[in-house]
Amino acid sequence: MNMPDPQAMTKEWMAQIGDPNHWKTWFNMVPQPASNPIAGILQDAGASIKPEVIEQLKNAYMAKLTGLWADFMAGKTPEVKDRRFAAPAWHASPLSAFNAAAYLLNGEFLTAMADAVEATPHQKQKIRFAVQQIVDAMSPANFLATNPDAQQTLIETKGESLAKGLSNMLADMQKGRISQSDESAFEVGRNVATTPGTVVFESALFQLIQYTPTTATVHQRPLLMVPPCINKFYILDLQPENSLVRYAVEQGNTVFLMSWRNADMSMQHITWDDYVEQGVIEAIKVTQDISGQEKLNMFGFCVGGTIVSTALAVLKARGQEPAASLTLLTTFLDFCDTGALEVFIDEPQVALREQSLAKGGLMSGRDLGSTFSSLRPNDLVWNYVQSNYLKGKEPPAFDLLYWNSDGTSLPGPMFCWYLRNTYLENSLKVPGKLTVAGEKVDLSSIDAPAFIYGSREDHIVPWGAAYASTALLNPKQPKANRFILGASGHIAGVINPASKKKRSYWSNDQPVSARARAKVLSAEQWMEGATEHPGSWWPEWAAFLAQHGGADVKAPAKPGNRRYPSIEAAPGRYVKVRAD
């Protein structure tokens, strides 16, 4: 493409700073394009494109490029419809507009070539992903020499924006990641994760928080929340106005929540079995002891839902049924469609992880964060390169993005087991195929009523895969399961406070046979009969919890009990430990 080489541009920036040692750090922080993208990718994949198809694409490309050039020479400013080039400076200069239009045309050509590759579906997906990374990285908006908006800012600020941008970049290099939010604006326990509560138990793996009731009476059965161990729990307790934890407390639930420890080298040998046995099952026992209740309303979010479901199946094999109900939010049980993450999952990649981590070590939070950012590079990488570095702006204070940058590390053996047995081989859904904590796992043995939520635009857990859990759980009474589909994505769909009255959700209370639920198109069938409702799905969930919460009883006067006394105030120490 007729664009500056980003590696050369970056080296030039480093020369201006005067410290070449920073080059390696910067290079590792952002996606880097190859010099000959398509040829190299095809060679690595062992794939090819038919010569006649290449000829067709080339002819179409040359025709469009010729037309674009003719319009430019005639003084006609190209029309550019892309939000990356929405600033007036891009359209004020015919050359800048042409540069943007040429880039978009080149990107269109590379994408068309990727789509024309003859390869297996998984290979094509990997090729498309790699090409898209290159296309996004090569945008003229990403470089000062070709970004007229950044150049205008440079002139208007008399060079201050460049100085500030370089300062921002140096600061990010020290952190090893690109700042997405004003991190000085937030502090865990001060203005995020502030719902009052007490840590009543801790082990080497997690702390258990019991939240302070805000109602005179509570549902008899407590709610035990299991958040994902891949992220900090406070995505469920950001600020008071968007805290799912606080909402659950206000609805009359005695809420217990697991705060997973951020793994360090002392945890490098911990396994998936440990997360089930010493994690969720231990939390169930402590919650039962403190509350005096055998039955609990169980909750799992994302991988937390996968772990809690596995734990309930293990307990069922032991003759125990602690769940009065089960809530799963954006959770995989059937890994039939792993969405955007599928590009990272195949036998060679999983085997490589196993070789390095299966016997010990850590999957770092920084690497996990980079992986997720690469799924949406324009939003989570290049947008901040342009704003923070080229224009010298400070990122705004945004609690969700602050949380997003607060990553967690995972024990290598646990992570490798998870990759192979779920994402790669999809074995968890097969009754008896996996043994966890000494028991054969059969998810169909879990007969508690289930509230299952999916987000319509979720690229991490596609909603059809979330819906597939309805075919696995409670097969004897499928009508006891409830599926709700929310608007937006993996996080924003879940964190949709009822008080805000934003977005919408879909429900379908028409009976669907168990046979229909098991079909591949069952999600589409469900959607055909679904009804859209304005606002948040949270009240639907609150009603479900109330239905299975038992009688109303007096709220507990104090947290814990004699066996499990108070340790420290919520949110506890574990959540404050950063992976970096």
Q: Which residues contact 43 (CB under 8 A, 6 or more apart)?
A: none
Dihedral sign computed on CA atoms, order 566, 571, 573, 575? positive
Dihedral sign computed on CA atoms, order 254, 333, 330, 351? positive
Decide the pairing of beta strands 435-436 and 410-411: unpaired
Instruction: Give CA–CA dist 28/128, Å, rounded.
Output: 21
Q: Which residues contact 143 (CB under 8 A, 6 or more apart)?
A: 3, 4, 6, 9, 390
Contacts 24+ apart (CB under 8 A), 270-275: 270/205, 270/411, 270/413, 270/414, 271/411, 271/413, 271/414, 271/417, 272/310, 272/413, 272/414, 272/417, 272/418, 272/421, 272/436, 273/436, 273/437, 274/205, 274/414, 275/205, 275/229, 275/307, 275/414
From the list 575, 571, 576, the residue with the least C-alpha distance to 212 is 571
Per the CB < 8 A criterion, the answer to whether 90 and 100 are in contact is: yes
For 265, left (φ over 0), alpha (ψ -120 to 50), or beta?
alpha
Amino acid residing at 12: E
Reply yes or no on whether 416 is catalytic: no
Q: Which residues contact 556 (CB under 8 A, 6 or more apart)?
A: 213, 218, 254, 291
With residue 576 as reference, give the H or E element that holds it: none
Instruction: Give CA–CA dist 102/106, Å, rounded.
Output: 6
From the list 539, 462, 478, 536, the residue with the least C-alpha distance to 505 is 536
Per the CB < 8 A criterion, the answer to whether 200 and 567 are in contact is: yes
Cα separation of the two ends of the chain = 37
Amino acid residing at 38: I
Q: Which residues contact 553 (CB under 8 A, 6 or more apart)?
A: 217, 218, 219, 220
Instruction: Give CA–CA dist 318/277, Å, rounded.
Output: 12
Helix, strand or coil, per DSSP, at residue 502: coil
Report which DSSP code applies to 556: P
Instruction: Give CA–CA dist 331/443, Å, rounded.
Output: 14
Q: Which residues contact 528 (CB under 8 A, 6 or more apart)?
A: none
What is the DSSP track for 335-392? -S--GGGGGG-SHHHHHHHHHHHTTS-EE-HHHHHHHHHHTSHIIIIIHHIIIIIIS-
From the list 109, 112, 64, 104, the residue with the least C-alpha distance to 82 is 104
Q: Which residue has the tokens 């606080």?
A: 246
| Residue of 229, 302, 336, 416 with catalytic role | 302
The neighbour count for residue 214, using CB atoms within 10 Å, is 14
Which residues belong to the active site?
302
